[in-house]
């Protein structure tokens, strides 16, 4: 396998074969994100991608899962994606799932039939970084999409049979906007009904645009206690009908939560209430990481 630059993948793809089909992120403007700032976006040469799969087949006896990177591999046309999926299906009959990062815009640019074609040919999960349900926050962080577009994209994914895994970021509204961020994110999850929700906590890497706003005082980072209060308000506002796996157990989170909504909502709220009283339950700042 040949890789270009730093490689990022969702935590749940830790044991997947990672295949770079694009380099970088087509959007690359979010103010908090440092992942692909060193890369100029391009679609990788298709023949090279297929060669990488050939190499992986020679090297690995068993490949259960394949993750298509980089930032939004779903930007590829279905013709290109199908060429890759056909090669995967031919070479790796044991592969149970192909997953991919996608921007909401990538999803909205596909027809329902195209998404169904991807599902029928092995795509099981599309990961979307929503970050917030608040239109104000989305605008402030230059996400490039609206709440309504995010909801439409996630519903479209789930309607195709593919599962949507949507990521949000605690603290993304800052101290001025935490309540709006919490309530709007909770109600947006209720409207989206995604199969999976992942909640990270904001950590600002040096050099990202948000760092300048923090230095100037325009954006104030929440304390651990404030993040817990925000997560509690967010959870209170989630009212899903179908099962949604909720995970807030990333290395950046102060309190590790994992449960199925709606079943475990009260249990997770209780844990957050206990953490608000017992600060020993909060992860030490030194052990947080992205
Ligand atoms: S958060 Fe996602 S969409 Fe935004 S710049 Fe980073 S990789 Fe691209």
Ligand 1 pocket test: pick from 10, 24, 28 the residue with the most ligand atoms within 8 Å of its Cβ: 28
- Give me the mean pLDDT over the 56-75 stretch: 95
Query: What would the pLDDT profile of 185-210 be if each residue is shown by its tens digit?
Result: 999 999 999 999 999 999 999 999 99
Query: What would the pLDDT profile of 142-171 be if each residue is shown by its tens digit?
Result: 999 999 999 999 999 999 999 999 999 999
- Give me the mean pLDDT over the 56-74 stretch: 95
Q: Is-contact 71 105, C-beta < 8 A?
A: no
Which atom of ligand 1 sits closest to the CA of residue 28? 5
* 3-state secondary structure (DSSP) of residue 261: strand
Alpha helices in 194-283, H assignment, sequence order: 209-216, 224-236, 265-277
Q: What local confidence, expressed as pLDDT, does residue 72 receive?
A: 83
Indicate the pTM of the whole model: 0.95
Q: What local confidence, expressed as pLDDT, does residue 215 receive?
A: 95
DSSP single-letter state for residue 173: T
Ligand 1 pocket test: pick from 6, 32, 35 the residue with the most ligand atoms within 8 Å of its Cβ: 35
- Give me the mean pLDDT over the 20-45 stretch: 92
**Cα 274 to ligand 1 centroid, rounded to whole Å:** 34
Residues with CB under 6 A from ligand 1: 25, 27-30, 33, 35-36, 71, 103, 129
Q: What local confidence, expressed as pLDDT, does residue 288 receive?
A: 87
Q: What local confidence, expressed as pLDDT, does residue 252 receive?
A: 93
- Give me the mean pLDDT over the 66-78 stretch: 93
Mean pLDDT, the chain, as a whole number?
Answer: 96
**Is residue 116 classed exposed, middle or buried when 0-12, 13-18 and 19+ CB atoms within 10 A define those classes?**
middle
Residue nearest to atom 4 of ligand 1 (CA): 30
Residues 6+ apart with CB under 8 A from 245: 195, 196, 197, 258, 259, 260, 261
Name the token pair of 177: 């906007």
**Cα 71 to ligand 1 centroid, rounded to whole Å:** 7
% of the chain exceeding 90 in pLDDT:
90
Q: Give all strands (DSSP E) within the chain, no chain letters.
A: 17-20, 22-23, 42-43, 65-69, 97-101, 123-131, 163-170, 196-201, 244-248, 257-261
**pLDDT value at 107 more than 90:** yes
């Amino acid at each position: 396998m040949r890789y270009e630059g730093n490689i990022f993948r969702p935590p749940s793809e830790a044991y997947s074969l990672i295949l770079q089909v694009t380099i970088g992120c087509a959007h690359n403007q979010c103010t908090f994100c440092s992942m692909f700032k060193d890369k100029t976006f391009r679609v990788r040469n298709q023949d090279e991608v297929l060669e990488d799969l050939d190499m992986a087949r020679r090297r690995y006896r068993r490949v259960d899962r394949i993750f298509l990177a980089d930032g939004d591999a779903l930007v590829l046309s279905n013709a290109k994606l199908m060429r890759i999926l056909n090669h995967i299906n031919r070479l790796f009959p044991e592969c149970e799932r192909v997953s991919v990062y996608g921007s909401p815009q990538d999803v909205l640019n596909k027809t329902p039939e195209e998404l169904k074609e991807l599902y029928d040919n092995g795509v099981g999960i599309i990961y979307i970084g929503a970050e917030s349900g608040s239109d104000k926050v989305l605008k402030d962080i230059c996400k490039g999409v609206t709440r309504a577009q995010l909801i439409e994209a996630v519903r479209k994914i789930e309607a195709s049979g593919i599962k949507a895994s949507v990521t949000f970021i605690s603290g993304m509204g800052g101290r001025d906007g935490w309540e709006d961020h919490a309530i709007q994110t909770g109600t947006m999850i209720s409207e989206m009904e995604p199969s999976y929700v992942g909640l990270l906590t904001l950590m600002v890497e040096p050099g990202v645009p948000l760092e300048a706003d923090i230095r100037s005082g325009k954006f104030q980072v929440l304390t651990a206690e404030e993040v817990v209060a925000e997560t509690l308000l967010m959870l209170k506002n989630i009212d899903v009908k179908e099962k949604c796996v909720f995970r807030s157990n990333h290395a950046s989170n102060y309190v590790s939560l994992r449960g199925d909504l709606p079943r475990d909502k009260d249990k997770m709220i209780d844990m957050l209430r206990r953490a608000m009283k017992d600060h020993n339950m909060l992860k030490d700042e030194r052990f947080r990481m992205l």
